A and B are shown apart, each in its own frame.
Chain A
């Protein structure tokens, strides 16, 4: 039996939650003081996911980079691969909020999209 310790992020209380795992299956959650802790802990040990935010290079924009995010959360274990893939991406201005800058990042099936406009250099007021 494996035990994992987590801090619940459901509220400022920050309960120390212990999850007991048997063969990868959750058999007990203790330490939580409400139901949210249970839900969070189960998801966190079986399938932790995160939205990844970063920035990518822009050619000819008002700013040299544009912020981006994965459209949905991706498995936590894929964060490094996602960052690696984004390092290689360069897009041309203008970039519009919501534009896809990279499809299916790190084989997650999730696209990476721009989260801000970046106009052509001569249009933008720098």
Chain B
């Protein structure tokens, strides 16, 4: 059995940033376990630019952004294992993993950072009726086929879902010579970033049909076409609005789901809204010494924020290990309640003794709002009231809380994050 102070599960942007910051914060024995053949995670297939505007003040492609971090990990001589699959983590932080060289092995960790990322919602989860021919891909699968494996999975394409990967793939497949006929979105608004709508669809004259969904897939061996229909306000297809599109490929970009099988297996409490762990101000889950960051915690739009969040998780993991037997258990816990259009917050509680001087609270809203305010109430008193010209479910929001605002709060303190009209 091996022993490490910190085991980081996943070598994508979250895992890399967590490892670097843990090392910087004094952790000596850190290891990253990555199931793919290289570090960088999904960034390796995101070859478009627009990454790192916040972190590096320049527009990098996904692989370039990943390289900035993986090079540093190598410079810092942080250990990592590739082609290594973590199978199980016990509640006392025994990590069971396997790879070709070592077979099945165990690592006892003092702290664990969960950085497994997320997975795309599949056709099965979407319940799309019709035949089950070849040619139905998740947008991310198509992205890997084109950008890493080097072949085009189809010539005539329809995309369901206006998530960012779907929009990016609409442009990518168009540039590679495919005809993208339409992008259909079930909701009355797009799930992707505005700039992607403009630069991936509008630039290439690809129509976006809001409040539309796929009601039938045709084709026995290979997709031959799909039927779109408009949906009503309850997202039910409206009879008579069906429209047939001939195509050989259907891409699905209908949302991402944090990949928390390992977290659930070890007994970490999961937030049903995010499908990610419930965490406190240290990004620590319900199991002390187990931290979570990146898309396994909640799905992000921008990798820059993943890196920031993961760095915090890495730092707190290092602090946890350094505290050793002398851990001070100050269990004061102020719960953050999302209200009025705010779907969730990360973290979902704060301990004033442990919070950062300026603690970032990230959240998403459930609808499109214009000219509203983000407000925070502490025991009924409003401490934040910030104007937001527009908020949308596709764009993550944040609010900053100052430590000094919580120093004199009573034991039973409730924090409310909400959206208010002017």
* Chain A contact residues, CB within 8 Å of chain B: 6-7, 9, 11-14, 33, 50-55, 57, 63-65, 67, 69, 76, 79, 83, 97, 115-117, 124-126
Contacts and interface: CB of A to CB of B under 8 A. Distances in A.
Contacts of A57: 150
Contact of B147 (A55, A79, A125): A55
A14 B50 CA distance: 17
A124 B64 CA distance: 18
A69 B62 CA distance: 11
B273 interface: no
Contacts of B61: 53, 67, 69, 115
A79 B63 contact: no
Nearest to A124: B37
A63 B63 CA distance: 14
A7 to B, nearest CB: 5
Given A13-B389, A13-B390, A53-B48, A63 B148 contact: yes
B147 A51 contact: no
B202 interface: yes
B195 A9 contact: yes
Contact of A51 (B49, B202, B203, B394): B49
B219 to A, nearest CB: 28
Contacts of B125: none
A102 B37 CA distance: 28
Interface in B121-162: 146-150
Contact of A9 (B82, B149, B194): B194
Given A57-B150, A116-B63, A125-B83, A7 B197 contact: yes
A9 B198 CA distance: 7
A76 B203 contact: yes
B175 interface: yes
Given A11-B194, A12-B391, A54-B176, 17 more contacts: A7-B198, A9-B194, A11-B390, A13-B389, A51-B49, A53-B61, A55-B146, A63-B149, A65-B147, A67-B61, A69-B49, A69-B61, A83-B176, A97-B67, A115-B47, A115-B64, A125-B38
A57 B61 CA distance: 18
Given A51-B59, A97-B64, A67 B82 contact: no
